[in-house]
Structure 1
């Protein structure tokens, strides 16, 4: 975890909460600090300070734990292999084992997390030292979370280890630093991908607070709110997710206009939250307004367009008050979407499969209603 709670009582902290003078660990107040000192912090304070102070010490510890998990998870695949970067089986310095991190075939698919991190660190440093600009930074920073060869994103436990590697590399920089902000975002996303949603929530809440505190661009604040909403949903906190997604959709309308893809994506996410909470009438009303825009701007075969139509059909047939006309509309919508998905995405694509399953459910609902 990044340090956002009191070390003594675990209460949430403000960003300017008091700290231990030596190791910089954070507390609610002097009472908690004195209590923590008596309960054993006295023995740990010097060690944490030598480790780079509290945030760095914590990140280093979490990184080592995440690497160990990733290496163990990949052990069967990596047996007898060597790192494509350093060509060794064990890392010369850390003695860590290998991971299998992407879709590369042959020897290119194996590496040490430390080697991948060092490679990414060098590429980002080149951008910063030569002032190559934001576009170059986005391309180079992608090496922290995706393979430079096959460009596939690193999977769960490997991505989580790289997330901690990235955060521990840049956390000591000012909050306004680009690499630090990107690292915090990557850490939150990588924790979520590894299904550590409680930990991801802490990071994403801290990221949103940071953007608001330093006056970050509205685009970044909206993207962070959207990511936070996904974590709320993963934790079953649907009402909080709905509240955020409503705000994001409203913000996108003001910032980007109704025809922008990010606005349409925000509308889809908002409709999905409404559907999860069985607020079918609101979901249908929203999608009836936004689906025609998506079909016109993005095209019939666009994945987002297809998913909006699929979600609209589900709002029709899942509603207990659905009429026969509603059920017929759901079936016809899904039949048309399924044909398009097969033509554009292919029969084995996950979106095609989701539409086919929804079509079976809609037909079953229509048949049951007709037989009553």
Structure 2
């Protein structure tokens, strides 16, 4: 269901829209189907069918494009290195180059996206075969988006390429299949981290519609709503994001209590939207409540704690009513946070760069106030 618009007229598609009999490409109506056939689909239909039908064909194509982008982005960092999985510089079959998108140091962490995907596919298949659950299941599924050695989540275009790899692996399964649904979420997050918000939005809206249609659990519904809310926020649709984030936060709080990682991440998402809406005191209040919990449960060096400190500092220095003490506190928080995040995540991590930018802005605001 990632092909969410009619190929003839670009209107949004219903999940049960009419399909081409051979390749399963969906259309909003028969008129568009006939028009698209005359305008070139006739020549492509057999090829798409041989490629596994429309969704599989599209996923394979998008995957190849995403891998090429990731390899190019990592080219300077991976020059002269070899894949830690297959030990080759160039993949023997796909001829793709290497990527790197985690916290591994030295010569570790270089790999082909194809090798990472095959590794994840194998361990997840073993988990299915052995009926694993809980942490044993999660540790295997996480290999679709996290390094198996340093355990850090991949980021940027590498995460996007792995998202398409995950989706193309499970797209052929029935809609109600658990892995297919999880793969859609992995893809949506990958598109987000590669700064592809319009594509991300179509995936996440389709995912939420699917979850509601299938009558998924409350937890899955909350997670899907939260992910979509983040996309709305990125696109500047803050009121929509606020409603969904409030619902997700209160839902997680009721389900799991305040010390759960999902509750705390939802608190961060809600505070971030409040910040965007310039509701600074509400954002600070939520962070003052949640940050001690995050420190107690996860420690000072956890991603959740890093995010809370950053939002709290930004809610201080962005506020036009902030005092000199507020601004100095914001600068201090961000300076300490930058050092800690660089030590834990590495200098090239997007979160570290975001903290650096925020620290620079906080200093500029403080200097402007002192010069006034």
Q: TM-score, normalised by structure 1?
A: 0.82
Aligned partner of 2:285 in structure 1 is: 288
200-209 vs 264-273, which moves further: 264-273
What is the CA distance between 1:97 and its match in structure 2? 2.8
3-state SS of the aligned residue for 1:188? Answer: helix
What is the CA distance between 1:310 and its match in structure 2? 6.2
Aligned partner of 1:249 in structure 2 is: 249
What is the CA distance between 1:234 and its match in structure 2? 2.3
Aligned partner of 1:37 in structure 2 is: 37
Aligned partner of 2:70 in structure 1 is: 70
Deviation string 1:294-331 (CA, Å, 9 cap, x unpaired) is 436745958756765764565566455x3xxx626634
The higher radius of gyration belongs to 1
Aligned partner of 2:169 in structure 1 is: 169
1:247 and 1:216 map into 2 onto residues whose CA distance is: 16
CA contact (8 A) 1:8 1:35 kept: yes
Is 1:223 equivalent to 2:226 in the alignment? no
**Residues 183-202 of structure 1 aligned to structure 2 (within 5 Å):** 183-202=183-202
Is 1:327 equivalent to 2:323 in the alignment? yes
42-51 vs 1-10, which moves further: 1-10
3-state SS of the aligned residue for 1:100? Answer: coil
What is the CA distance between 1:151 and its match in structure 2? 2.3
CA contact (8 A) 2:167 2:187 kept: yes
3-state SS of the aligned residue for 1:110? Answer: coil
Aligned partner of 1:119 in structure 2 is: 119
Q: TM-score, normalised by structure 2?
A: 0.82
Aligned partner of 1:178 in structure 2 is: 178
**Residues 292-307 of structure 1 aligned to structure 2 (within 5 Å):** 292=289, 294-295=291-292, 298-299=295-296
| Distance of aligned partners of 1:294 and 1:195 in 2 relative to their CA distance in 1, 3 Å threshold | closer
Deviation string 1:72-96 (CA, Å, 9 cap, x unpaired) is 3333444444333223333232232
CA contact (8 A) 2:283 2:312 kept: no
3-state SS of the aligned residue for 2:227? Answer: helix
1:247 and 1:240 map into 2 onto residues whose CA distance is: 11
Corresponding residue pairs, total: 361
Residue segments in structure 2 that go unaligned for 5+ positions in a row? 345-351
CA contact (8 A) 1:90 1:96 kept: yes
2:233 and 2:212 map into 1 onto residues whose CA distance is: 22
| Distance of aligned partners of 1:107 and 1:218 in 2 relative to their CA distance in 1, 3 Å threshold | same
Residue segments in structure 1 that go unaligned for 5+ positions in a row? none
What is the CA distance between 1:258 and its match in structure 2? 5.3
